[in-house]
Amino acid sequence: MSDSSLRLVWVYPDLLSTYGDQGNVLVVQRRAEQRGLSVERVDVRSDQPIPTSGDIYLIGGGEDRPQRLAAERLLRDGGLSRAASNGAIIFSVCAGYQILGHEFVNDVGERQPGLGLLDVVTTRGEGARCVGDVLGDIDPRLGLPQLTGFENHQGITHLGPTARPFARTVFGNGNGTGDGTEGAYNDTVFGTYMHGPVMARNPQIADLLLKLALDVNALPPTDDRWYEALRAERIAAATQPA
């Protein structure tokens, strides 16, 4: 962690900030500040270099063409990959998740190279688009409660041998492969299809990122009544018959 403050980097808000994903950076910042941590937030546009000294990097979703542009620029820049090599924590959503893999299918139907920070490959699904609420059980090794979120994607993401599923779906599509997996992670890099924004629905994920960045096993408690009310509302809505 940085000596003076926690450095929080929001990657390419001009390209990858669909479905309210910018809320993720707001939640992580707020939950750090509630613990008395000083936070330096850095919003990096796609025409700016990615700093390599961040502690936590957040990447949102985006439409097909902005996703391709973001992948091309992140590959040319190299800063996010160097930050990962330095041990930074990276959390990505939807298009950002696909970019962190080895490759995905872009807006012109070509296989687009990703950053290879997650051992996943994304193809384009031929069936119905994956849209709707998702509930899932997060990998028990992460010690987190049930995952709630909203998915909207055509991509089908296949996990390689070094990628662990972030969650197993109770219902919803998740990665879209039919095997019940949702998202992927390794030690410091995470990907999910969950919007919502996912941190507002699942504040314990934000806390996990903070603990990893601080290298601590626990954080001081906070007032979670608002978050828990939102979680209960969305889980109840998702589980009610249509």
User: pLDDT of 29-80, one tens digit each?
Assistant: 999 999 999 999 999 999 999 999 999 999 999 999 999 999 999 999 999 9
Is-contact 147 202, C-beta < 8 A?
yes
Residue 144 maps to a domain? yes
Residue 121 maps to a domain? yes
- What is the three-class DSSP state of 162? coil
Q: CATH no. for residue 62?
A: 3.40.50.880
Assess whether pLDDT exceeds 90 at residue 150: yes
pLDDT at 19: 84
Residue 219 maps to a domain? yes
Q: Is 153 a catalytic residue?
A: no
What are the tens digits of pLDDT across the range 188-228?
999 999 999 999 999 999 999 999 999 999 999 999 999 99
Assess whether pLDDT exceeds 50 at residue 1: no
Of the residues 94, 102, 153, 158, only one is catalytic, namely 94
Going by pLDDT thresholds of 50, 70 and 90, the confidence category of residue 4 is low
What are the tens digits of pLDDT across the range 88-129?
999 999 999 999 999 999 999 999 999 999 999 999 998 899
Distance CA 125, CA 132 (A): 16
pLDDT at 2: 43
Give the C-alpha distances (Å, rounded to integers) separating 199 from 27, 58, 93, 131, 205. Answer: 6, 11, 11, 19, 6
Mean pLDDT of 154-182: 97
Residue 19 maps to a domain? yes
Residue 141 maps to a domain? yes
Going by pLDDT thresholds of 50, 70 and 90, the confidence category of residue 3 is very low
* pLDDT more than 70, % of the chain: 98
**According to the annotation, is 65 in a ligand binding site?**
no
pLDDT at 241: 66
Residue 212 maps to a domain? yes
Of the residues 102, 153, 158, 195, only one is catalytic, namely 195
Residue 242 maps to a domain? no
Residue 25 maps to a domain? yes
Query: Which helix (H) or strand (E) element contains residue 236?
Result: helix 225-239
pLDDT at 127: 86
- What is the three-class DSSP state of 170? strand
pLDDT at 18: 82
Domain assignment of residue 135, given as a range: 4-237
Q: Is 130 a catalytic residue?
A: no
* pLDDT more than 90, % of the chain: 91
Mean pLDDT of the chain: 94
pLDDT at 142: 97
pLDDT at 166: 98
Nearest-CA neighbor of 46 among 17, 22, 81? 17
Q: Model-level pTM greater than 0.75?
A: yes
Alpha-carbon dihedral angle through residues 173, 175, 180, 185, given to the nearest 10 degrees: -140
Number of domains in the chain: 1
